[in-house]
Chain A
Amino acid sequence: MLSARALNLQRITASSSSRTFATAVADAASGVRVAAVDFGQPTSAVTVLVKAGSRFQNKEGVANVLKNFAFKSTAKRSAIGTVREAELYGGLLSASLGREHLALTAEFLRGDEAFFVDVLSSFVTSARFTRHELEEYVKPLVESDAEAVASNPATRALEAAHALAFRSGLGSSLFAPAHNDINVADIKAFASSAFAKGNVAVIGTNIDSSTLNKLVEQSFTAATAAEGSTAAPASKYFGGETRLEGSGGPQTLFIGFGAEGAPSAELAALAAHLSTQPSVKWSKSLSPIATAIPEGAQVQSVYLPYSDASLFGLLVQAESVGGVKEAAKVAVEALRNAAKGLKEEEVKGAVARAKFAAASGVESREGLVNVLGAKIFAGSEVSVESTLSAFDKVNAASFSKAVSSLISAKPTLVTVGDSLNLPHTDELGF
């Protein structure tokens, strides 16, 4: 009995490991890239990924406004029609913005794909962008986004760090300025450049790839969207220091470094090595930082890979300035030790954790879209195996080389809170 079950299990794992994650990437006749994968689960999701992240915006905050304009009135249906009809079908519509991509997602029960693909495509091809919707629905959302980030020191620190590290492009904020003069013409101009055919990809999960292909072809060929795709200038790392006032929330310090070029497995391993997230609940992690920082202080390792650059850093937070100072010292020392070289087994452990995080991230829908999104526009093979196999090549020598070249660059330091007393870059030894 037991052996039969074990055998069965083995067969399942064997068949699933042979399956590629995305079964097809087709340049549909419409010129839109399509990838679909079917895990056999009861709800489907379709994500329209547009190269309309904040790095492509031509005016500060336009990308955020465009995100909040999602699912408002189009030539086909009004805003209320979209919402009510989606409710009747029992689906969820959401939009999220990254520095690279704008993702419009519909989650729904199997069988309702025709309606939801139509909702997504009609926004891309025929959104009306009316002035009264901007004033009545969109501006309040944009303001609440900006307000939420203003009261979150960690996000403020990361936004400022991007601006320092990359200046333009990746440096532009995900959020709109509190006082902006974005009007409908700006949004229309940005949308018409962003919704070009080469900028749009459709990723479906739990949906048959031929069905999705057909629907995409139907709904996107009618598009008047222009050919071609937008290209941003290559990212360049600068670095620097800035100190922001912050009232409320913990004292925050971000010390980071940027790397140009495609994201590397070594930096992901470094993030895993320094991560203070324990593998067992209610315990301390084995990270060199976790055991040495004072009680109440937090250090998070932040690794943000983008298509042509990545930002690595440590986010230090504590209630008191003293706690931040001490924890930052510990964190920087751990970073320097990693650059000097780690023991082979330490590197192996870090690589294993990073690989697990990458592999398990793909199991969630958002994680899968993130991974596929990066690849689908690069035109590389759309599978997750190549991401994971990159970790196998990491060894102690390549690890320490990557880390030392990372920290040889000019650091990016952001403090949020008590600007007078939080440490400066030179006080951290850079």
Chain B
Amino acid sequence: MFGPLGFSLAPYIQSSKTLTSWVKPLANWYANAAGYRQYGFKYDDLLVEENEPVQKALSRLTPREHYDRAFRLKRASQASILHKPLEKNEWTPAAEDVRYLKPHVLEVMKEDAERHKWDTVVVEKK
């Protein structure tokens, strides 16, 4: 439950149409209010990366994704030093705020789970 991606109710909420229509505006407001988009980040840039699954997932990004991630981190650090968000035209639009890392993390977690399964498998003769 508390994997590298953290706890999330999103799958449950997305399974219900009514709940989605209620929560979505709130979620969008929250994502904008959190302020990371004002610093040019995408949500997955904030993912805690000091653990093995995420490190492995990061190694699976394409070179282009790697470069862009490093660029966003540097630009945000500079903005942080200046104590000032980026210019408005550099904010991350909601459409570009995609989970580019999450699928890789999920894949790595699935592989780890499968490795654990095979490491601890009990073989029975039929």
A contacts, CB < 8 Å to B: 78, 80-81, 84, 88, 131-132, 135
Per DSSP, chain A at the interface is helix
- Name the contact of B114 in the complex, choosing from A81, A88, A131, A132 (C-beta under 8 A): A81
A81 touches B60 (CB 8 A): no
Complex CA distance for A88 and B115, rounded to whole angstroms: 14
Shortest CB–CB separation between residue A137 and chain B, in angstroms? 12
- Most chain A beta carbons < 10 A, residue from B115, B118, B123: B118
Sample of 17 further A-B pairs with CB below 8 A, known A84-B118, A84-B121, A88-B123: A78-B111, A78-B114, A80-B111, A80-B114, A80-B115, A80-B118, A81-B114, A81-B118, A88-B121, A131-B60, A131-B62, A132-B59, A132-B60, A132-B104, A132-B107, A135-B59, A135-B60
- Distance (Å) between the CB of A393 and the closest chain B CB? 55
Quick one: which of B23-40 are within 8 Å of A by CB? none
B60 to chain A, nearest CB (A): 4
On B, residues with C-beta under 8 Å from A are 59-60, 62, 104, 107, 111, 114-115, 118, 121, 123
A206 CB to nearest chain B CB (Å): 23
**Cβ contacts under 8 Å, A81 to chain B:** 114, 118
| Chain B residues within 8 Å of A80, by CB | 111, 114-115, 118
17 cross-chain CB contacts under 8 A:
A78-B111, A78-B114, A80-B114, A80-B115, A80-B118, A81-B114, A81-B118, A84-B118, A84-B121, A88-B121, A131-B60, A131-B62, A132-B59, A132-B60, A132-B104, A135-B59, A135-B60
By beta carbon, the residue of chain A nearest B62 is A131
Rounded to whole angstroms, the CA-CA distance of A81 and B60 in the bound complex is 21
Counting from the closest, the 8 A-B pairs by CB-CB distance are A84-B118, A132-B60, A80-B115, A78-B114, A88-B123, A80-B114, A80-B118, A81-B114
Tell me, in angstroms, the Cα distance from A255 to B9 when the chains sit together: 72
Distance, CA A392 to CA B114, complexed state (A): 58
CB-based nearest B residue for A85: B118
The docked-state distance in angstroms from the alpha carbon of A344 to that of B59 is 68
Residues of A within 8 A of B121 (CB): 84, 88
* Whole-angstrom CA separation of A116 from B23 in the bound complex: 50
